[in-house]
Each structure stands twice: as structure tokens, then as C-alpha cells.
Amino acid sequence: MQRPLITKTPLVEIVPWFAPLGLSARLFVQSLTPAAFTTLSWAEMRLYCRWMGLRSFHLVALAACAIGVALTIQCVIELSKYRAQDLSGAVISIGLLREVGPLTVSIAWCVRVASLLAEEARQVSPSMSELNFARRFVLPRYLCALAMSIPLGGYGLLVGFVTGALAAPLLGVNSTMDFLESARQGIQDRDLVTYFVKLIVVNPTVGVFAGCAAGFVGRGTNMPVASQAVTATFIGCYIANLIFTMFIFSEQL
């Protein structure tokens, strides 16, 4: 008699995504000790800054343009039903700063970084201790990711916002100046803080440590570490962004 085919439940499939969470936390603590900074290789850091920054500008530009146009189309169409299309600048800027930018362009870049680091970490010698791995491998790449997320975050915001401002008059907004004025009145300091904290601190941290942990666990095996790192980065960023949003807007809940 043929045995029934046993399939995993969704919960069982989700658990492995969080398995490296404890390892990620240990790597985070171990990589930020004062002694770890004495082992930094500036030549290596320049190499990774070039890859994470300069070679990622095209990804950020294309993604920001697409998101800016898509968000503008949706907002102008819906607001025009209430003759409020000139307010689309405020709606688009708030949405872009608070959630859309961090959950699209930022995570796309973090996934790119995580997959690279996962494959590199898998090639590290299995004899390397966890402490040395955190200091020599994780720390320089983490610092590079934080450093490159600053210009990329500002660049992505500028491209997405300018694209939306230029496209708005073609969709029914009176002028680009009306779009910009509406955005100026709608943006608050809290929105800017939310955007840059998520793009510069939250998402890069999740991506780097998810990639490094997945690769470290898969050393000496044929495990698909890149796919594990990508999945962990998506889930981790979604949860981390939700927690930060709830924290910074807790007074309004």
C-alpha cells in the first residue's frame, strides 16, 4: 500500500526562516565590540562600498521612477473623483516617506546585498570561529551597507519624488508647482525621520545580518543560502518596519 504523501504545514515551513535569528543577534553583538574595529580592512571596505553604492544606483533609480509614477497615477485618479487631485502631492509624499519607499526600493536593495553576502559567507572556512567571522567578515560589510544606504536613500527619494511631480500635470494636476506646494504642506519632520531611519538603519541591518547568518549556517554544504537570505530579509524587514511604524506613530493609534 502506498504511503500517503506528507506535506508540511505553513507553520513548519515558516520556522526555518527565523532559525538564524539567534545567530544574527550574536553576530550583531560580537561585530560591534571595540576590538572588532581594529581588524578593519579599508581596502576591502572601499571595494564593498563601490559595489553596494555605485553599482546599485541604476537599481535604485529605475525602482524609484517606477514607484513614483505608479503611486502618482493611483493617487491622482482616486483624488480626481473628489476634485482633490491638487492634494496628490501631500498624499504621495506621505505614502512614499512612511511606507512605500522603505518597503519597495529599500528592501529591493537590501535583498541584493543579503544574497551576495550569503553566498560569500558560505565560502568562509568552516574552521573560522563565530567571533572571528563577526569581526572580520560581518563588521566591514555592515559598515559599508550603512554608509551606502545614506546616499542611496536620499537619491531614491529625490528620483521618486521628482518623477511623480513631473508626471502629475499629465494626469490632471494643475501644475508641478501645485504638486510641490501640496507636498511641502503635507510632509512633517516625523515622516522624514521615519523614511531615513528605515532606509539607513533598519533595513540594511536586517539585510546584512540575514545574509551573513544564512551563509554562516550553510558553510560546507549545498544549501540554497541565497534564497534563505532573501526570504529572511523580506520577512525581517516587513516585521521591523511594522514595529518602527507602530513605535513612532504610537501617539496617533
pTM comes to: 0.87
Q: CA-CA distance, 48 to 110, in Å (whole number)?
A: 14
Q: What does the pLDDT look like over 91-106, one tens digit per residue?
A: 888 888 999 999 999 9
Is 19 inside any structural domain? no
- First-residue to last-residue Cα distance in the chain: 58
Is 201 inside any structural domain? yes
Residue that has been written with the C-alpha cell 549545498 in this structure: 222
pLDDT bracket for residue 201 (50, 70, 90): very high
Is 3 inside any structural domain? no
Q: What does the pLDDT look like over 102-131, one tens digit per residue?
A: 999 999 999 999 999 999 999 998 889 999
In the chain, the number of structural domains is: 1
36 membership: H or E segment, kind and range: none
Q: Which residues constitute the domain of residue 126? A: 40-248
Q: CA-CA distance, 7 to 199, in Å (whole number)?
A: 38
Q: Residue 110: what pLDDT? A: 95
Is 16 inside any structural domain? no
Q: Residue 14: what pLDDT? A: 60
